[in-house]
Amino acid sequence: MSHDDTGAGGPHAKLIRMANQIGTFFLSKPHDEGVAGTAEHINKFWEPRMRRHFFEVVDAGGEGLLPIVLEASASIRRPAEDRKAG
């Protein structure tokens, strides 16, 4: 079994599930606080590579992400592009 999570739900299925779990937790808060909390958590605990993959999902339309997560994406720090020579 592969660890890249490219099965059902595509290559970002695990990341989408994790983002939605964070969003679901913050749904119990008042709306603005929940959106801010979702963004703060991702900014604080997700490494740049994870946020880069997150924005791949968002930029492709955000399919599978909860509305609170999509709204929070406006406040999530977008990591710099890789500067790898190739």
pLDDT of residue 3: 40
pLDDT of residue 22: 98
**Domain chopping of the chain, boundaries:** 13-75
Q: Note the pTM of the prediction, 2 decimals.
A: 0.83
Contacts of 15 (CB under 8 A, 6+ apart): 50, 53, 54, 57
pLDDT of residue 80: 86
Which of the residues in the chain have pLDDT under 50? 1-7, 85-86
pLDDT of residue 1: 32
| Alpha-carbon 57 to chain mean position | 8
pLDDT of residue 86: 43
